[in-house]
Structure 1
């Protein structure tokens, strides 16, 4: 008989159910059902509370928020030596790892793997040294209302469990698009938790959709261009050189996140899925922290997926445990890097990124597939054959390059009336002051024109897709109470992504400031008819421009409204309304020093 290959033997061990003895009172609900089902939130909490009672020195449970439907949001803290508070963790020099499951509740492996991991750490002595040198902050179910809205008909693409939670929370918001705009109560509770613990690493557990392939897990980390240098270096060493190879040695197959350029033909290569600050790892990046997205494979059995999460989280925590100082150093240097950015004259920071045009070769461990022209959709119907493994030599366009850069001023000034924006500063914990008296200063102001909006609502917002931006230097009066957000601190990158008009997840782009594009005063057509003739008489070049527009733009020529607007929008009756004037202003270092000297600010609230 031929010897079994080591990888296959390890894989069989990894997916073989543990023998469950009647006396084993620490069997998790998913294990007890042979992974056919996943427990309710009440059952999950009951298991965790029992574990905390049995191991009070290593496990503590807290409530950190309440969902819109009134359910408590639970977080579990696990550590050695009683280091179960942020103060104790920092005093002990232990990095803090935030592990979250169920932000999309149908993708719930992280919950069941977490119960097993905590059990094996705190009670079964299987992983006794897992948290010798770090502290785990674990959210078993992030979207609790979505988790409890479960049924058999969510996630049509997925192989179990028998019932799955709903992707949105109870207000139909996708929490993994809400990190910056922070609309949901759950997000605001999460941000408060983040600001309390200030974790060094965020791990977010999901289940993928898409093609079929051999990997039981894919993973994603933000491109180095999006990160502080110290965090980029730590992630490369910790994931590519440490945790992922260790995970594969446990019998698994893993790959970087597989975003296929053409879902009908996997041989056309993969690209970057375009994460940004609205996503978990993108948000961690603008908080100067490491992040790791885990995606189990939807078509593998639920047991395989749960055990894959168990082993990859174990491998990452082992990596942290080996050199906790390296992660702490990366975080510390990242904060210093962010705080120093604005000190450079003319400082800018990229806020959008584009695909590196030079691909890299990638071997995809997939399955044979066929493409059949469908008489239903009229498109290609792709079918995979999991019985036939096949490797494909393809190209990867996963790497990114900086694209649009935004200026990084000494500070931003926000007039007090823009409460929507200021409330988001509070939600994110961004420090600011308010001017105690009015003061006249020089500012850089952005004037926005030619706005275009998305065709349909997204996550409850009508998003601004794009606008032309021109910058002017102005002398203006900042009223008393104006909010001043400085950039000489660790929150500089976060602040810029919320406040700059160029940032794709800014408050402007999410539609919180759409009103600035709406003129409130209009001219009657009979009045503008006379105004147009007066303007032409005073400026003949205006007549030339008008006639050129008539010639080049048939839609304009056919619209009486547009033709009159051509003149009204060039008149002082329109410009006095300051349509498109972006209210977030930029202050340079000289102006900020003047403000500090002549109009001392008071702490913001």
Structure 2
């Protein structure tokens, strides 16, 4: 009666969206330990669901968190990678029917299909590199967004609903199931683990040294070898590879901002579908077993981490690989090489599965901060930037509106330079290489502008989104592009006389102007540039141009 659509098939077929929802509705109806809830909207017009499994039949998360840990599972973010969907359906069934021992110390929450629009866009060809199943969904959602690039910028309704689910559930551990792309090797199961340095402190060290090794040891005891995600495309992994850095745009990077250790199973695309579903199931089962035994430790370390970053401390905004720290990683691969292409005649990469190897390769997993910022006491955001404020609220950031117009001494940033991508990426032309100049001065804020203290659990989220030099900052995602454009200009024939008077009346400005002409020949030969320089150094130039409208309160 509770056989899943996958189990009814030939081992190479995955459930449709309608079958998935019908299956969980049946479990909800027949088992008191399972509750299915309709949640927020998606771009498809169909709402998300969560499926809660708690053998105590308690579904209030405030009550749950008093003595239990919560594991959140996310499936179908890329519906062409449905391994986790079918594995999770079987896991819930096995828990409900007592085939798997019911946990006492944890609750499981599952988003059965996150990218509903992509799941409904079913086909058999868009995963050209993948070995099964016979048909599957599409990577992009209904508006063609890759949802695993949207967690910070939140352009989609899916992502905004996910944030509300995440904040409601308050998970202690997170898993987002995927299928890999890239090199060929012997492993069926690879994984992306939240970078321990981004988790930070004792929690990060525990996740790297204790939690993940124990879970993987449990997999190995079942005959399942695993390796970190092979971050190599169109090259051989023989010479080693780097740990994937999951920035906040990705699901596990998002989770780490709230001190939730996360992992992204990446089953190998070229292995048969049944084998991939099996190892995904076993990984979730091993994670479940580990949390069951160590729920108190995980919750203690998370609680400690929530107060780890304080005003005045340094926080890394950018990371770079530390090439001096090398881990020797046992690796099971296939010999590869190059041979003439049957298509072009040019050299092409190939792997010979008749020649497996076991060797040790260098693995770079240690990063070092490339840019740090001092954590302020608070940020102040004018109420006019409602789009940013709305996202902060969705992500459970607490803030207080000013009760009256107030002049406050703050540190402000002026955008000095930045680069912008030439090609569209997920609906944006993102910025990078941002250069800023910080100054401290008094700013008059209006009643209703928001003061956001950093002494709250979401401090990392604030730093990653509001500091313009952070990789996935709201500035880099174009939320503040309006400040990059001047709104007022001058007519040269009118301003010529004004500029001459400004230089005559201001000896300091005249000295700076003459020094620049002397030092910069191109400037000295360009009358238009000289006029513009004077304008930008005068009271006529609009002060909001390039002025970043998020202010820092510092001691």
TM range (shorter): over 0.9
Give 1:59-458 correspondences, 5 Å limit: 59-91=34-66, 93-123=67-97, 125-129=98-102, 131-260=103-232, 263-338=234-309, 341-342=310-311, 346-358=312-324, 359-372=326-339, 374=341, 380-458=347-425
Q: Does the 8 Å contact 1:223/1:400 carry over to 2? A: no
User: Counterparts of 1:257 and 1:399 in 2: how far apart (Å)?
Assistant: 15
Secondary structure class of the residue paired with 1:66 = coil
Q: Does the 8 Å contact 1:406/1:503 carry over to 2? A: no
Give every structure 1 segment of 4 or more consecutive aligned residues whose post-TM-superposition deviation is greater than 4 Å. 373-380, 528-538, 559-564
Deviations 1:397-429 (A, max 9, x none): 222112211221111111111111111112212
User: Counterparts of 1:503 and 1:283 in 2: how far apart (Å)?
Assistant: 14
Q: Does the 8 Å contact 2:35/2:51 carry over to 1? A: yes
Query: By how many angstroms is 1:392 displaced?
Result: 3.6
TM-score of the aligned structures, taking structure 2 as reference length:
0.94
Query: By how many angstroms is 1:210 displaced?
Result: 0.0
TM-score of the aligned structures, taking structure 1 as reference length:
0.86
User: Counterparts of 1:454 and 1:377 in 2: how far apart (Å)?
Assistant: 31
Q: 2:29 is matched with which residue?
A: 53
Query: By how many angstroms is 1:394 displaced?
Result: 2.2
Query: By how many angstroms is 1:382 displaced?
Result: 0.7
User: Counterparts of 2:114 and 2:359 in 1: how far apart (Å)?
Assistant: 37
Change (3 A) 1:142 1:157: same
Query: By how many angstroms is 1:374 displaced?
Result: 4.8
Deviations 1:118-153 (A, max 9, x none): 111112x32123x22210001111111111111012
Deviations 1:144-189 (A, max 9, x none): 1111111012111111111121111101111111111122111111
Change (3 A) 1:482 1:394: same
Secondary structure class of the residue paired with 2:308 = helix
User: Counterparts of 1:532 and 1:391 in 2: how far apart (Å)?
Assistant: 74
Query: By how many angstroms is 1:536 displaced?
Result: 6.3
Q: 1:33 is matched with which residue?
A: 9
Asked if residue 581 in structure 1 is aligned to residue 547 in structure 2, the reply is: yes
Q: 2:19 is matched with which residue?
A: 43
User: Counterparts of 2:195 and 2:436 in 1: how far apart (Å)?
Assistant: 27
Unmatched runs of 5 consecutive residues or more in structure 2: none
Unmatched runs of 5 consecutive residues or more in structure 1: 1-24, 590-605
Deviates more, 1:496-505 or 1:148-157: 496-505
Change (3 A) 1:240 1:87: closer
User: Counterparts of 1:321 and 1:410 in 2: how far apart (Å)?
Assistant: 38
State the aligned residue count: 550
Q: Does the 8 Å contact 1:134/1:320 carry over to 2? A: yes
Query: By how many angstroms is 1:238 displaced?
Result: 4.7
Query: By how many angstroms is 1:221 displaced?
Result: 1.7
User: Counterparts of 1:376 and 1:526 in 2: how far apart (Å)?
Assistant: 63
Q: Does the 8 Å contact 2:410/2:442 carry over to 1? A: yes
Secondary structure class of the residue paired with 1:323 = helix
